[in-house]
Structure 1
Amino acid sequence: MTETFKKIPIFRPEVTDTGLPQELRISISELLKQGCFIRGRAVLDFENQLAQYLSTNNVIAVGNGTDALLAALMALELNKGDEVITPAFGYPAAAEMICLLGLTPVLVDVDWNTFNFDPVQLEEAISPKTKVILPLHLFGLPARMDDIMQIADKYQLTVIEDAAQSLGSDCVVDGKKRKSGTVASLGCTSFFPSKNLGAWGDGGAIFVNRDDPKLWNRLRSIVNHGQEKKYFHTMLGMNSRLDTVQAEVLCYYLSRFGDNCRRRVRIASRYTESFSQLESLELPLCAEVNSYVPNLYTVKVAKDRRDALQSFLNKKGIASQVYYPLPIHRQKAYAPFVRTPVKLTNSEQLPFCVLSLPCFPSMKEWEQEAVISAVKQFFRESHV
């Protein structure tokens, strides 16, 4: 098998290519000597470093991105039956947490071009029970936070940003750039290995984006079993914390984050340049959005050809992925709980035509060229 036809994954952690970096070898060895695996110094260091990078008030590291969403919703002291508006297309972690708390997910459609909230539909979906707007910044492209915040202010609603796929991207609000996840009162992210800033296991964080000690203290208590101080539990909480080892890993990769973001942008730009003449392929907006760090390079293909393209790539040893094959309101687990006050046309159609191609910082030049060559070959031969 030639190098070109080796398996090209949808994602590959950098460490699998480079081995354990010397800097991490030293810091993790020291950690092993100390034995401080829970709430070690590196966790606080990472929280502070990430807050500084984001130019936000506080960061609270937790066990994973889903816990971050759950804790953020719990901190708002909502009542059962209160409504949270979120997109119908995307990973359902937010909808899942909304349902677990006895709240009602209100689903609105996404824009065909950006995969994100349609602000027009957002306003139409608001009811007297609406308390929260929860946008997802899908595939790395931030939602239209300027419009979303204006609507939230108009109706006095809280906004929680799900920035699990968009860390490093910028939003422009009131003419100023803000990091994705830091525009609203609260932001959440994931450090799942394939995210823009990935750990070697699970991890997540909550961003408190305003000077609100009460909210910050409440979140700190919630993620620590509802303890105000050790063994004194003042509220219902949960147990969610970032392991010290993962904090060491994240501190290291945060120091290299800018370079890795630029690699993602370069790979996406190369795809866009190479595929620009393929009329059968609808490309993402990578080249049109400033400071957009793609987590996934997601194209749209006519639904009668999408599966054939994926199968063709697979035979070439190239992985691709359909994110996401079923909208949230069609999922058996959530369908009984959701409210769908508006038409979800795009959310219904996108699962049949989206396809994500490999796009990750450790991707080699020959790997990308193999993907580009295979995609072009498919469309060339399918026209014969």
Structure 2
Amino acid sequence: MGNVVPIFRPEVVKEGVPPELQSALSQVIAEGRFIKGCEVAAFEKELCLELQTHSVVTTGNGTDALLACLMALDLREGDEVITPAYGYPAAVEMMCLLGLKPVLVDVNWQTFNIEVGLLKDAVTSKTKAILPIHLFGLPASMDDILHFAEQHGLPVIEDAAQCLGAEVEIEGTRRKAGTAGRLGCTSFFPTKNLGCWGDGGAVFVNSDDVQLTQKIRMILNHGQRDKYLHEILGLNSRLDTLQAVVLRHALKYLRDANEKRVEIAIRYQEELREISEIELPPFPHNPLNIPNVFTIKVKPQLRQQLKSFLWEKGISTQIYYPLAMHWQKAYQSRIRSGSSLTNAEKLTHCVLSLPLFPSMEKAEQDRVILALNEFFRNHE
């Protein structure tokens, strides 16, 4: 088949380990500071400055970050949390583990994000929080979500794992995605805008609530404030020092990497807009968006044919996500539908994500564009 255009390729695979990073990693290895090394605290401060928020607390992965946020709000068994019905179900999974009731609301067809107009019918006396997911690099409508949440006295937890570096407008002021709600969180999974070489995550505390920050740190450290004194229920979740070193390096180039993502998305838009059989995502119409993946919509009867055709041409694609959350066996008996879920259901049959990553070469994108045009010429 020759060289395959991957759906994602870490920069280090193409470029190797730069000397600056190699030196920093070697220093940690030489000193054996693999857990709670000073680089972890340094990364938290640097990311906090980049996001212009109050505090950042790192975690072992993005799912633990979601879990810590839910635990920190003292939600009780049976409490309801409103969240979108389409996306990766990590948040729903954590709600179920805590005995909470996920209330699923449909998403907007264009943006893939929670449909704000449906929130009012999803709220009950048991509703205790809203957890929007910023999907594919397209931030949810946080201004409207926060206005609704304030009217109902509900805290908002943002899942910003797929759009770090993107921005939202709140009453005319720009803020980084993930920093508008009471709490935000992200994953540093390698495919994310800011990714490491394994697992990692973080919680963002978006106010000067020192007690809340301290509580989250305790939750992530077995409920300890002081060693061997377990005051509350917690878990064990921390960012490895070596991953913190990798992330400190990546953070320096995050804006450049995100600019490259936007550049690739713009070219897809320009080169694919004449294909009437596909619907393109709303990039780059909003300058605040930072694409994480480039997800097109195609007729359900053509999707598998297109996916197979591209693979024969040496091009990887991915279906994010083949099942809406309410169709997942693990959650069916534990969730409540807060609206009809028509768009979430339709999207599972028509979405297809194309390769998009900062180290993508123009020749690789040429291959994707040429193959798509060839496929649809043959299906006119």
TM-score tier, shorter chain, comes to over 0.9
For 1:56 and 1:287, the matched residues in 2 are separated by 26
Q: Which residue in the other structure is 2:36 paired with?
A: 39
Q: Deviations over 1:49-82 (max 9, x none)?
A: 0000000000000000000000000001111000
For 2:199 and 2:20, the matched residues in 1 are separated by 21
Letter in 2 for 1:282: E
Q: Which residue in the other structure is 1:70 paired with?
A: 67
For 1:103 and 1:53, the matched residues in 2 are separated by 33
Matched, 1:184 2:181: yes
Letter in 1 for 2:239: L
Matched, 1:303 2:300: yes
Q: Which residue in the other structure is 1:53 paired with?
A: 50
Query: Any gaps of 5 or more consecutive residues in structure 2?
Result: none
Q: How far does residue 300 in structure 1 lie from its aligned partner after superposition?
A: 0.3
1:112 to 91, 109, 114: 109
2:283 to 282, 286, 300: 286
Matched position secondary structure for 1:382? coil
For 2:18 and 2:38, the matched residues in 1 are separated by 20
Structure 1 moving runs of 4+ over 3 Å: none
Q: Which residue in the other structure is 1:194 paired with?
A: 191
Matched position secondary structure for 1:300? strand
Q: How far does residue 19 in structure 1 lie from its aligned partner after superposition?
A: 0.9
Q: Which residue in the other structure is 1:86 paired with?
A: 83
Q: How far does residue 303 in structure 1 lie from its aligned partner after superposition?
A: 0.8
Q: Deviations over 1:339-384 (max 9, x none)?
A: 013100000100100000000001111000000000000001111x
Q: How far does residue 108 in structure 1 lie from its aligned partner after superposition?
A: 0.3
Q: How far does residue 33 in structure 1 lie from its aligned partner after superposition?
A: 1.2
Letter in 1 for 2:88: Y
Q: How far does residue 34 in structure 1 lie from its aligned partner after superposition?
A: 0.9
Q: Which residue in the other structure is 1:211 paired with?
A: 208
Matched position secondary structure for 1:313? helix
Q: Which residue in the other structure is 2:9 paired with?
A: 12
Q: How far does residue 124 in structure 1 lie from its aligned partner after superposition?
A: 1.2
Q: Show the 5 A alignment for 1:213-232.
A: 213-232=210-229
Q: Which residue in the other structure is 1:122 paired with?
A: 119
Matched, 1:358 2:348: no
Q: Which residue in the other structure is 1:134 paired with?
A: 131
Give the aligned length: 380
For 2:265 and 2:112, the matched residues in 1 are separated by 17
C-alpha RMSD of matched pairs (Å): 0.7
For 2:338 and 2:138, the matched residues in 1 are separated by 25
Q: How far does residue 287 in structure 1 lie from its aligned partner after superposition?
A: 2.0
Matched, 1:327 2:311: no
Q: How far does residue 259 in structure 1 lie from its aligned partner after superposition?
A: 0.6
Residue identity (%): 54
For 1:150 and 1:250, the matched residues in 2 are separated by 34
Q: Which residue in the other structure is 2:159 paired with?
A: 162
1:245 to 239, 242, 245: 242
Query: Any gaps of 5 or more consecutive residues in structure 1?
Result: none
TM-score (norm 2): 0.99
For 2:32 and 2:77, the matched residues in 1 are separated by 42
For 1:48 and 1:67, the matched residues in 2 are separated by 20
Letter in 2 for 1:67: D
For 2:214 and 2:42, the matched residues in 1 are separated by 18
Matched, 1:103 2:103: no
Q: Deviations over 1:315-352 (max 9, x none)?
A: 10100000000000000000010001310000010010
For 1:197 and 1:170, the matched residues in 2 are separated by 15
1:172 to 169, 172, 184: 169
Matched position secondary structure for 1:60? strand
Q: How far does residue 290 in structure 1 lie from its aligned partner after superposition?
A: 1.4
TM-score (norm 1): 0.98
For 2:64 and 2:83, the matched residues in 1 are separated by 17
Q: Deviations over 1:83-105 (max 9, x none)?
A: 00000000000000000000000
For 1:19 and 1:343, the matched residues in 2 are separated by 48
Q: Which residue in the other structure is 2:142 paired with?
A: 145
Q: Deviations over 1:131-183 (max 9, x none)?
A: 01000000010000000000000000010000000101000110011000000
For 2:284 and 2:234, the matched residues in 1 are separated by 43
Letter in 1 for 2:13: T
